[in-house]
Amino acid sequence: MLAGHCIPYTQTCNRGLAANANPQACRAAEEKQVCSFRADGLKDCCCRIYSKF
């Protein structure tokens, strides 16, 4: 959801990374890296490409 609109996207993820780990950079310039921390102390990081409409 972005500015009240649903924006479809595709993503590739690295899951279960250590909280202090630096994830690899996304391959494409238009990809946005999003990381979320989990309750078990690890984090999941995804490279997302938002669809243009």
Q: Write down the domain spans for the chain.
A: 9-50
Closest CA to 35 of 49, 50, 19, 53: 19
pLDDT confidence of residue 35: 96
Backbone angles phi, psi at 15, to 5 degrees: -110, 150
pLDDT confidence of residue 11: 95
- Side-by-side strand order, sheet with 42-50: 9-18, 42-50, 32-37
Residue pointed to by tokens 């990374």: 17
What is the mean pLDDT for each group of 10 consecutive residues in the chain (53 residues)? 73 95 90 96 95 73
